[in-house]
Amino acid sequence: MGTFKDKVERLCSTGFIDTEEKDMLLVGLDTGSASAHRGYEPDHEQMKIMMNILEAIYQKLLVAPLRKQEISAPATNA
């Protein structure tokens, strides 16, 4: 189990994400925690940056492997 930070650290130590992505996720995690527990309100630009970070990681980990699998599959004749 562990904290969110522990889980992000495990993602990095197992090679699922790299150090840069880990650092970016931890910033987003801290921002979300500050918003939920301390009333912090990130501005529009900060929210765009965090969403871009999450989108890039999502693209790398989920979308790109599926696309690679799709183009690597043998073509079928219709």
pLDDT digits (tens, 9 = 90+) for 4-57: 999 999 999 999 899 999 998 999 889 889 999 999 999 999 999 889 988 998
Task: Give yes or no for residue 78 having a pLDDT over 80.
Answer: no
Task: Give yes or no for residue 76 having a pLDDT over 90.
Answer: no
Contact (Cβ atoms closer than 8 angstroms) between residue 27 and residue 52: no
Kind and range of the H or E element at 20?
helix 19-38
Distance CA 63, CA 78 (A): 26
Q: Single out the residue of 40, 41, 11, 35 nearest to residue 23, CA to CA.
A: 11
H helices within 1-78, ranges in order? 4-13, 19-38, 44-58, 64-72
